[in-house]
Homo-oligomer: A and B are copies of this chain.
Amino acid sequence: MNYVYQYALPPEITLGHYLLYRLRQLGVRTIFGLPAEFNMPLLDKIYTIPQMIWAGNTNELNAAYAADGYSRIKRMGCLITTFGVGELSAINGIAGAFAEHVGLVHVVGMPPMSAQVKQLLLHHTLGNGDFKVFHRLGSDVAEYTAILDDLETFAHEIDKSLIIAFTRQRPVYLGIPLNMIDVPVSSSLLNIPLDLSDCPRNEALENEFAAAVLNALYKSQSPAIIVDACVSRHDLIEETKQLVEATRFPVFCTPMGKGALDEQHQRFGGTFVGSMSSPEVREVVDFSDFILVVGALLSDFSTSSFHFSYKAKNTVLLFSNCARLKNATYPDLELKVAMEVLLAKLNPSLVQYRPQKVLDVIKPKLRLMNNVPLRQEWVWSQITRWFKPGDIVITETGTSAFGINQSRFPNRTRCISQALWGSVGYSVGACLGASFAAREEGSDPRVILFVGDGALQLTVQEISTMIRWGLKPIIFLMNNSGYTIDRLLHKKSNAGYHDIQAWDNLKILSTFGASNSDARKVKTVGDFLALIDDPDFAVNDKIKMCEVVLPPMDAPPALMDKLLVQERSESEEADQVESGSLRIGGDGNSFKRIKLSDRP
């Protein structure tokens, strides 16, 4: 990307223009958010920037999700909200970007400074004259914050904020008082490129680190490379591939790293999901003597559904801005630098590992009768062959985030999911952002969303924004009548809180004003095969939704196996259920637990 962008501009522009041109230099062409009294003069300026548009979301949380999804494709996103009500509505989305290392600028339109100084303006405040409370709240989920209230420093603050958001891949918070939007600034400042490469180097530390890592790497007999979230965020896809090819180590991805590596590569072994990994993956990863995690976000975490940690004696974690080897931390070692040094010093002839064939973890496809109702395991095994190179695949927290790990992507498939923060409904907003980003690429790749019926309800209206802009995602609505992942996690109860209001899902697109759309429903194996064999459905020529009807207590195999193992150890007095059938209570809202033998 060429981060310098020359414009024919008058010698003086406004602060608002300066910010927007700087964003444009970083590749940002779509801005998300909602209009309000304190940001409208800034929004006016978007319409004057070449190839830049204001998306106009349906609410601020969705806007934050959209900016996040956009940034996961373009490495930078921006949303504009308003003081108080707007910024607080977005804060959960910003926190998600912070947790998952996504580069964003959150611009907040603030009351004019005169009102703040005089404490005059109390609309959208807590009524106590405290204008700083929202900035304070925003600081906890931002890598950097600035209020542009100083004529001497605002251009510097804008540059600094954008550099931090971009290089560290984290959200920053920029507050702009209304009266500052139109203050003049010299346009010649735009000719000074943003310095995006300034990571401090420490040669002694780098050498020591590389020697220690390579020493362990060369001696390893059963190694593994793991690709985690920050590989795609920090654009290290090519370097990671070089490392795999030089060492011939088997390589796996985490759920957050999925899509960063060519999954057709002969050394690719599948997805590592801790205790929920397939037996083939666990066998390699859990028993390896050396693990190199590239772009690590976390070394371990646990939820009530699974545990995730690396067990190798020699574990190297390359975080975004530091590294760890066993218990030693190497501070201030940027991921890009660490990879560069390792690749430069690696001597493949010293690698002792004798390459083993990496097993194909994708299960052979089951042949089922056309009239068999759909089950998650089968659907996820089939969808793999429907993916195409270049696809952007978005999955929601819940069963689809687990299901997707069963699939093997074609090369250059990109994957978006919010696996760590896990805010339900994220995927719909992210799909909007990714759809804008996809359209900005010349190749107009497909954007494919998998979202459950429960999650969809949180953010459904953002589909309206997709329709408004003629975006053409293909939406698989996995309808299992409620919050199935919660049903599985909290099995002791058949409580009504797992259920949701049933919607007439096929009407959603037309209700939101789509005049050219495709809405279908599939219930059986035959329906689904017809769908994925239909060349018309595979083309992203209009917005499409396919409702996939699934049983309420069904889930992808990884999740089911895990829970069934737990269940068997907890209780042997399980209900007697006939093999191959799923017993559902008479009202459709209370569910019996099912056993392994029930699965086809």
**Distance of A319 from chain B, by nearest CB (Å):** 10
Known interface pairs A123-B422, A140-B137, A458-B58. Does A37 touch B303 (Cβ–Cβ under 8 Å)? yes
B98 touches A486 (CB 8 A): no
> Within residues 440 to 461 of chain A, which ones have a CB less than 8 A from any CB in chain B?
457-461
> Within residues 505 to 531 of chain A, which ones have a CB less than 8 A from any CB in chain B?
507-508, 510-513
Which 10 A-B residue pairings sit nearest by Cβ, starting from the closest? A122-B301, A88-B92, A468-B501, A85-B423, A59-B458, A40-B490, A123-B303, A507-B511, A35-B497, A58-B457
B493 touches A503 (CB 8 A): no
6 examples of A-B residue contacts, CB within 8 angstroms: A85-B421, A122-B300, A122-B301, A123-B301, A457-B461, A507-B511
B36 touches A486 (CB 8 A): yes
Chain B residues contacting A59 (CB-CB under 8 Å) are 61, 425, 457-459
**In the bound complex, what is the Cα–Cα distance between A512 and B461 (angstroms)?**
12
Q: Is A502 an interface residue (CB 8 A)?
A: yes
B301 touches A421 (CB 8 A): no
Q: Is A500 an interface residue (CB 8 A)?
A: yes
A496 touches B47 (CB 8 A): yes
| A504 to chain B: closest residue by CB | B511
Q: Is A363 an interface residue (CB 8 A)?
A: no
Contact mask for chain A residues 270-294; partner B; CB cutoff 8 A; 1 contact, 0 none: 0000000000000000000000000
**Distance of A240 from chain B, by nearest CB (Å):** 21
Chain B residues contacting A511 (CB-CB under 8 Å) are 503-504, 507-508, 511
Contact mask for chain A residues 285-318; partner B; CB cutoff 8 A; 1 contact, 0 none: 0000000000001101111110000000000000
Apart from A40-B495, A120-B300, A511-B511, what are 15 other A-B pairs with CB-CB below 8 Å? Answer: A34-B424, A37-B304, A37-B486, A37-B489, A43-B497, A44-B495, A47-B495, A56-B496, A56-B497, A56-B500, A59-B425, A84-B421, A127-B420, A501-B512, A508-B511
Per DSSP, chain A at the interface is loop
**In the bound complex, what is the Cα–Cα distance between A421 and B512 (angstroms)?**
28
Q: How many copies does the complex hold?
A: 2
* A457 CB contact (under 8 Å) in B85, B305, B464: B464
| A90 to chain B: closest residue by CB | B92
**Distance of A108 from chain B, by nearest CB (Å):** 13
> Within residues 119 to 146 of chain A, which ones have a CB less than 8 A from any CB in chain B?
120-127, 133, 136-137, 140-141
Q: Is A465 an interface residue (CB 8 A)?
A: yes
**In the bound complex, what is the Cα–Cα distance between A121 and B422 (angstroms)?**
13
Q: Is A252 an interface residue (CB 8 A)?
A: no
**In the bound complex, what is the Cα–Cα distance between A305 and B504 (angstroms)?**
41
Q: Is A91 an interface residue (CB 8 A)?
A: yes
Chain B residues contacting A510 (CB-CB under 8 Å) are 504, 507
Chain B residues contacting A166 (CB-CB under 8 Å) are none
* A512 CB contact (under 8 Å) in B44, B92, B495, B503: B503
**Distance of A256 from chain B, by nearest CB (Å):** 11
Contact mask for chain A residues 23-64; partner B; CB cutoff 8 A; 1 contact, 0 none: 000000000001111001101100100000010101101000
Chain B residues contacting A84 (CB-CB under 8 Å) are 95, 421
Residue in A140, A490, A492, A511 whose Cβ sees the most chain B Cβ within 10 Å: A511
| A508 to chain B: closest residue by CB | B511
**In the bound complex, what is the Cα–Cα distance between A58 and B62 (angstroms)?**
14
Q: Is A14 an interface residue (CB 8 A)?
A: no
